[in-house]
Amino acid sequence: MIYDAIVIGTGAGGSTVSKELSNKGLNVLILEKGTSYKAGTATNHIITTSIDLKSNNIDFNKISRDKNPKTKANYEFFNFPAELMHVEGMGGTTTVTLANACYSYSACDHDSDSNHDSVRNHDSESNHNSDISYQKPRDLNQLEELMENNSDIEVSYIPRKFIGPATIKIAKAAEKLGYMVEAMPKFIDFEKCNNCGLCINGCPLDAKWEASHFINEAVTKGATLIEDFEVTKVLHQNSKVTGVEGKTADGQIKEFKAKNVVLSAGSLNTPHILRNTGITSGVGEGLFVDLFITVGGYMNNAGLNTELPMGIKSEFEHYFLSPHFSAQLVQLLQEKGYPAKNEDVLGIMVKIADESNGKILEDGSIEKKLTINDAKYLMDGYDKAAEILLEAGVDESSIVSTPIRGAHPGGTAAVGRVVDKSLETEIKGLYIADASVIQRAPGKPPILNINSLAKKAAENIVKQMKG
């Protein structure tokens, strides 16, 4: 059997390509390294990789700060090793998302003429003042294209009744300090959502969009899905794709033949398969991860841990802030002597667009350095988050932060370096459709962007097949 296309991976990119090609009547085989697991258990599948960002090499004298911090700032995040997260298995990393669908400043500015209250929201009626990011409606054309391209994913602002009291407390404090606060767009069907706040575990009610929705659609349209099959390399002859080779869970080597292959193994795995295939130039370079920290403090019974996560956001030029509970904060507070339980933490995530200077090495290890700019944006964001927490009533001496983490790895087979604008590699018929092809850190949730790129790859394959 020769398939029209083999898709490697069932995450954001792979699921979209699979659905698009199957809907066009192509004969598609989907190969997934991992397996399906029960919704509600996704955090057990997070793979955390420790990275040394070499923060101790930073010359802090070279960092020019916008202004002095208003709170006692320890910036303790520089002292911990950084952590990178991804998931392997059915649905890839989409199972653990917090359903944030915002791509750029303008991605959230649909109602820029309407009135707002503490949380700008389609439901809200009262007046509002400090529109920092409203004044920067950038990327409007890109946004329109993105929303149009993703009309198959239901995206809406989080309704007011789903925003909990701890989140509102943060929103009010931020507004009082003059920062603009917006409701977060989510890919959640709020008719089905019971507001359990546990999106990171995978949604048992099927309310949150996950890649398995698109994989199921592809299978319904006739695609074949094989789980527990790890693709090791793409086969080719005379610079043209002929199929893939990989191994089953019990170590059996197998080949499948195809006219096209789409590599969507995620930006940490795609470079490895490319190198085994014989494509090496520029592969694995340009890694970004959208670095973030969560800054938090002690507040008795704040209750943020049971609210829908990241319900609002405040955007600044190089980072954004959003309410976020992290269990790591509880432990850090206990170490400081606070009687903290999960419900006693108020936290704010600071997420930056880091420089694309990382590398996946041939042995699979990751090399990445924190730059002066990365450090400055994290410090500036930390200061703003701490200032808001203080205004919200958190005890100043309790303020701590998690280690630096990254959850959006990308850039390791970028457009212009490894693939052309059609997302095709130097081997005809071999495409890449995952976060690897993104050129720069978005500093924002990337799924809408990845899915949009994956549709482009699918369109090009269909065009080639017809031509």
Applying CB under 6 A, does 223 fall inside the site for ligand SF4?
Answer: no
CB of 441 to ligand SF4, least distance (A): 26
Q: Burial-class residue 275 by CB neighbours within 10 Å (0-12, 13-18, 19+).
A: middle
Applying CB under 6 A, does 208 fall inside the site for ligand SF4?
Answer: yes
Rounded-to-integer distance, Cα 402 and Cα 34, Å: 29
Residue 209 vs 214, nearer CB to ligand SF4:
209
The 173-212 contact track toward ligand FAD, x by CB under 6 A, reads ---------------------------x------------
Q: CB of 243 within 8 A of CB of 385?
A: no
Footprint of ligand FAD on 427-456 (CB under 6 A): 434-435, 445-447, 450
The 218-237 contact track toward ligand FAD, x by CB under 6 A, reads ------------xx------
Among 30, 168, 407, 419, binds ligand FAD (CB under 6 A): 407
Among 22, 23, 71, 93, binds ligand FAD (CB under 6 A): 93
Other CB atoms within 10 A of residue 134 CB: 18
Stretch that binds ligand FAD, among 60-68, 163-171, 262-270, 320-328 (CB under 6 A): 262-270
Rounded-to-integer distance, Cα 8 and Cα 94, Å: 15
Element holding 367 (H helix, E strand): strand 366-367
CB of 36 to ligand SF4, least distance (A): 17
Stretch that binds ligand SF4, among 105-113, 116-124, 197-205, 257-265 (CB under 6 A): 197-205
Applying CB under 6 A, does 287 fall inside the site for ligand FAD?
Answer: no
Pairing of the two strands 229-237 and 240-248: antiparallel
Q: By Cβ distance, which residue is nearest to ligand FAD? A: 11
Among 101, 184, 207, 450, binds ligand SF4 (CB under 6 A): 207
CB under 5 to 8 A by kind: which of ligand SF4, ligand FAD, none does 31 bind? ligand FAD
Nearest to 5 by CA among 462, 467, 394, 466: 462
Q: Which residues, 6 or more positions from 241, have their beta carbon under 8 angstroms from its beta carbon?
A: 234, 235, 258, 259, 260, 261, 427, 428, 429, 430
Residue 380 vs 434, nearer CB to ligand FAD:
434
Element holding 453 (H helix, E strand): helix 447-466
Q: What is the DSSP string of 248-283?
A: ETT--EEEEEEEEEEE-S-TTTHHHHHHHHT--TTT
Stretch that binds ligand FAD, among 2-10, 70-78, 128-136, 362-370 (CB under 6 A): 2-10
Q: Which residues, 6 or more positions from 216, have their beta carbon under 8 angstroms from its beta carbon?
A: none
Rounded-to-integer distance, Cα 330 and Cα 293, Å: 14
Residue 204 vs 282, nearer CB to ligand SF4:
204
Q: Which residue stretches of 62-205 are H helix?
A: 140-149, 165-176
Among 29, 96, 332, 349, binds ligand FAD (CB under 6 A): 96
Among 85, 132, 198, 372, binds ligand SF4 (CB under 6 A): 198
Footprint of ligand SF4 on 370-409 (CB under 6 A): none
Applying CB under 6 A, does 203 fall inside the site for ligand SF4?
Answer: yes
How distant is the alpha carbon of residue 331 from its chain centre? 25
Sole residue written with tokens 């239901």: 154
The 245-264 contact track toward ligand SF4, x by CB under 6 A, reads --------------------
Q: How many residues bind ligand FAD (CB under 6 A)?
A: 40
CB under 5 to 8 A by kind: which of ligand SF4, ligand FAD, none does 333 bind? none
Rounded-to-integer distance, Cα 275 and Cα 161, Å: 50
Gap between the terminal Cα atoms of the chain? 22
Rounded-to-integer distance, Cα 179 and Cα 288, Å: 27
CB of 121 to ligand FAD, least distance (A): 18
Among 155, 293, 308, 330, binds ligand SF4 (CB under 6 A): 308
Among 74, 114, 194, 397, binds ligand SF4 (CB under 6 A): 194
Rounded-to-integer distance, Cα 266 and Cα 454, Å: 12
Rounded-to-integer distance, Cα 47 and Cα 63, Å: 33
Helix then strand then coil, % of the chain, to nearest 5: 30, 25, 45
Q: CB of 302 within 8 A of CB of 399?
A: no
- The DSSP output letter for 365 is -
CB of 261 to ligand FAD, least distance (A): 11
Name the site residues for ligand SF4 (rule: CB under 6 A): 188, 193-199, 203, 205, 207-208, 308
Site residues, ligand FAD (CB under 6 A): 8-14, 31-34, 85-86, 88-89, 92-94, 96-100, 200, 230-231, 264-267, 269, 273, 407-408, 434-435, 445-447, 450
